[in-house]
Structure 1
């Protein structure tokens, strides 16, 4: 469909029409000059420091428009460690034998993440995949398990990848047309929570904790509606963080710990969501 037919008639040429016209122009020193390129097709210009505000806007708009066009209204967010292996898989991130042992023991959460994504996706199917769509960071470990669980039941899932200094490719289970890539962490984080009806947090490291605490802060300060925040692995998280201690010290209010709930299995976590939304 011609964009004009979809978005309404205009007497002015659409940008894609002018782009095609420039591609058909004679090859001369003038048309090859960087200054002659249409501004939005000039990568060197678009990546200049002065264009940061424009790039921020584009990173917000592109996924927002695509998800809206797809009809996706709500998501279930899955945070968790990229280093957790599949049960029986290699603990590739281990730096010593202690880490190898613990990563292998925590691989059970890969399977629980996969199971949990299956349950979310089965619920999502009822709405023709407009509600409770699984979204992950698009990488390996728990993220892979989440997208894989959705794929197990032939459901779409979203991957919000980000460019990192070390190579990170999207896992093969993300729905290709819902696989996004970000430069700005801040915009990526916005997309995680903008449609979130629930947030499941699996064992992980700095990145997982960053995403978890940011979500907690949004809810605690009233900047985000209360949704189920579920920590998978009560033993792990009670050793990793001590919210009761923060409450005792007065750095959070008594009861702020109650924003979160714990689950050890996918069924327990889905029961929390089901009760919250009276499904």
Structure 2
């Protein structure tokens, strides 16, 4: 007697996706045309209700988590920095235009201010190149380690673009954690497409920055960079996450923006808290700090921050 082939258990029932695809919502009756008849997970208006915020938070946590698991992303190095720092070529073009505009109208205060910004942007453009170099270095050198390390950024322009670009330069993967903003932040073209995520909630996005982080490098930036930097320092200080290297790139900039020593003098933080940050001026310096921490066994392989 011939044996019938076994039917996999998971094929006995239609999947949620099959039901959502195959179901007919409107059978021409008042009942079937009612919004209440629609499958809950296939009802956009229902999912968007204020009461469903906890569900949306969970979905936003799970989607990047499951995708990274599928791609075997075990560890990340986070690169923060301003979206307003251009590469050298773009910075020089803007500077040339600003100089010409100001020379034509030297009494125009707005043009004078724009020239000042362009001059500073041209000086800071070196950070774009260093972020790109660092990401390239991380991606190449990580291949020599026991397990994969991937660069992750906020997914936008400026320093974020530079870091994603560095990984792409050497055919490496990199992650972009974009977020919906009023100015519409669009993903830069160097993120690995299947690792390009979009968030609504800042809290969940910042959690994903740190969940697999073995180091954080903060380049010069504004409110967003400062927010991410201080949240990281607070979580390390309060031992909500394990200690990882926090590297501030460009000491002159950071000493001008944040007076950590004054916080110690005022008793607002301890000297141990002050020592949570280190400084680097080049990609090689930053990588040396990260590698020293990694090789000293402080990387906590396979452990994620919760």
TM-score by length of 1: 0.91
1:234 is the counterpart of 2:235: no
1:158 match: 175
Matches within 5 A, 1:257-268: 257-268=274-285
Structure 2: unaligned runs, 5 residues or longer = 1-6, 96-110, 297-306
2:143 match: 125
1:107 match: 125
**Rounded Cα–Cα distance in structure 1 between residues aligned with 2:143 and 2:178:** 24
Check whether the contact 1:244–1:257 (CA below 8 A) recurs between aligned residues: yes
Q: 1:220 aligns with which of 237, 246, 256?
A: 237
SS at match of 2:89: coil
SS at match of 1:139: coil
**Rounded Cα–Cα distance in structure 2 between residues aligned with 1:32 and 1:124:** 56
2:157 match: 140
**Rounded Cα–Cα distance in structure 2 between residues aligned with 1:124 and 1:57:** 31
**Rounded Cα–Cα distance in structure 2 between residues aligned with 1:29 and 1:272:** 68
Q: Deviations over 1:7-62 (max 9, x none)?
A: x7375432122123215x66646555433221112111111111101000000010
1:43 match: 44
Aligned residues: 271
2:187 match: 170
**Rounded Cα–Cα distance in structure 2 between residues aligned with 1:102 and 1:58:** 41
TM-score by length of 2: 0.83
2:116 match: 98
**Rounded Cα–Cα distance in structure 2 between residues aligned with 1:237 and 1:258:** 14
Higher-Rg member (1/2):
2
2:63 match: 62
Change in CA separation of 1:29 and 1:238 when aligned onto 2, cut-off 3 Å: farther
2:76 match: 75
Check whether the contact 1:125–1:155 (CA below 8 A) recurs between aligned residues: no
SS at match of 1:255: helix
SS at match of 1:204: coil
2:101 match: none
SS at match of 2:65: helix
SS at match of 1:278: helix
**Rounded Cα–Cα distance in structure 2 between residues aligned with 1:84 and 1:181:** 22
SS at match of 2:172: coil
2:106 match: none
Q: Deviations over 1:107-157 (max 9, x none)?
A: 1000000000001111333469x5220000000000000100000000010
Check whether the contact 1:161–1:182 (CA below 8 A) recurs between aligned residues: yes
1:194 is the counterpart of 2:211: yes
Structure 1: unaligned runs, 5 residues or longer = none
Change in CA separation of 1:126 and 1:32 when aligned onto 2, cut-off 3 Å: farther
Check whether the contact 1:228–1:261 (CA below 8 A) recurs between aligned residues: yes
Change in CA separation of 1:47 and 1:127 when aligned onto 2, cut-off 3 Å: farther
SS at match of 1:9: helix
SS at match of 1:173: coil
